[in-house]
Structure 1
Amino acid sequence: MFSDADADFVRVIEDVIDALIHNNVIKLTDLPPAAQKKLLLRKGIRNKLGGALDLLGNDDLIL
């Protein structure tokens, strides 16, 4: 139960980071190298699987 919730929460955090980058609030390079590597790895895996959830959608959201 917690592991499913944790996985979902991690995905939400990834989408928030993507939104912040997309809206020029932060740059990927502002994050520590280890975080950059993990984000890019997860994004690459999702793209290969074709199962990107896109929980925030493509809209320009103001957070």
Structure 2
Amino acid sequence: MAHDHERFKQDLSELDAGFIRVLEDLIDALIANGSLRLTDLPPQALEKLAERKRTRQRLQGALNLISDDDAIL
């Protein structure tokens, strides 16, 4: 029973992570089409969005094994 509870918590955490990415993409799309302005969001939300973007960019840079300038044979 306790094992099931922990598994459900893990499943929910994984779903939350995916849903957060969907929300980020939605916010970006709304900003891009002019339906939402960054100034419409509270400062705490702006900081959290900015931190996630910075973290994702650092991760993407760390995973970029071949830079765009490298020649591919």
TM bracket, shorter-chain basis: 0.7 to 0.9
Q: Percent identity?
A: 55
The higher radius of gyration belongs to 2
Q: State TM-score, norm by structure 1.
A: 0.76
Q: Point out the structure with the larger helix share.
A: 2
Q: How many residues align?
A: 51
Of structures 1 and 2, the one with the larger relative CO (CA 8 A, separation 6+) is 1
Structure 1, gaps ≥5 residues long: 52-63
Taking only aligned residues, the RMSD between alpha carbons, in angstroms, comes to 1.2
> Which ranges of 4 or more aligned residues in structure 1 deviate by more than 2 Å?
none
Q: State TM-score, norm by structure 2.
A: 0.66
Structure 2, gaps ≥5 residues long: 1-10, 62-73
